[in-house]
Amino acid sequence: MESIKKAAANVRSFHQEQIPKSWLTYREHGSMLGQSCIPLDRVGIYVPGGTAAYPSSVIMNAVPAKVAGVKEIIMVAPPAKDGSINPNVLAAAKEAGVTRIFKLGGAQAIAALAFGTQTVPKVDKITGPGNIFVTLAKKEVFGHCDIDMLAGPSEILIVADKTADAKYIAADMLSQAEHDVLASSIVITDSAVLAEKVNTELNQQLAVLTRKDIAAESLERNGLIIVAKNIKEAMELANLSAPEHLEILTQEPFSMVPYVRHAGAVFLGPYSPEPLGDYFAGPNHILPTGGTARFYSVLNIDTFMKKTSIISYTKEALAAVSGDVIRLAEAEGLGAHANAIKIRTKD
């Protein structure tokens, strides 16, 4: 419980830095323009169940929603065979500020949140990862409500030079490989010697894992050790991949940051392993996958807010621009648009 509280506090503190500001500014002739940042009324968060319990997913979904000012946070989670929900998940929900919990899972849970039922309220947005059925259901309901993203299998890409520790690299690759057989674990290095060491370490560490069968199949399907010409080429390949998690284990990792164009989250140096971000550091662990980091952002405060424009012109301000507005409206053949301006400025 203490660890859950500390993790929630770190996530809360990080996301409080992201809160956008509403603003209103004066322009020419007394006109005013602005933007109002408004939290969503009600959101639904999906927390996976199945083979594992994920209190961390509760924190990463609900805490930013709470910080954003969302009034109702509806959580759905598939129950165990005895009808219970993992107590760690429930404790995290209480700490994170979840409003109501429903024992629901799969595509039917997504449908209930999107359209509402006699007991489940309809939400404005659904966030949180799930299996392929949950992901496809989110895709189907998009438009009836909003969604965060379409989350695929977990992935890690590690850029490393000869100074990196092969033990750390192998451990971090396996931390993703144990998620499921579709997970992707890749290392790109400019050192053939390091590549051999990593391969040896993978085999040694894999042998003692509790989920070694899953991790082994994941590595067989989607594991790669790539030797690049140099670190610059390694970074170019990393950007092409646009990984969910990008670890940089080089002599000067911060010098590589300007070269990062596409990644969900970046972990710098040997003591910033990916599980630190999964559970505790503060940044969100709900990240774009499958190359979508090229255009998607990590789940954040903006995920739970919308922005509304504010426009206020005085008579003088409207008169000053009326000719331009009328000209543009008439160029599009929209006479009523033009008339809405003319009728106010002909006096």
User: Among candidates 229, 228, 60, 258, which has minimal Cα distance to 158?
Assistant: 228
3-state secondary structure 251-299: CCHHHHHHHCCCCCEEEECCCCCHHHHHHCCCCCCCCCCCCHHHCCCCC
Radius of gyration of the chain (CA): 25
Here the tokens at position 329 are 């409206």
HSE, side-chain direction, 13 A CA sphere, residue 86: 19
Query: How close are the terminal C-alpha atoms of the chain, in Å?
Result: 70
Alpha carbon separation from 252 to 159, 189, 344 (Å, rounded): 12, 14, 63
In the 8-state DSSP scheme, what is residue 121? P
Q: How far is CA 114 from the centre of its chain?
A: 20
Phi, psi at 185, each rounded to 5°: -130, 115
Phi, psi at 60, each rounded to 5°: -70, -25
Query: What is the distance between the alpha carbons of residues 164 and 249, in angstroms, rounded to a whole number?
Result: 6
CA 43-182-239 angle, 5° bins: 80
Write out the catalytic residue numbers: 244-245
Here the tokens at position 76 are 């759905």
Query: What is the distance between the alpha carbons of residues 161 and 248, in angstroms, rounded to a whole number?
Result: 9
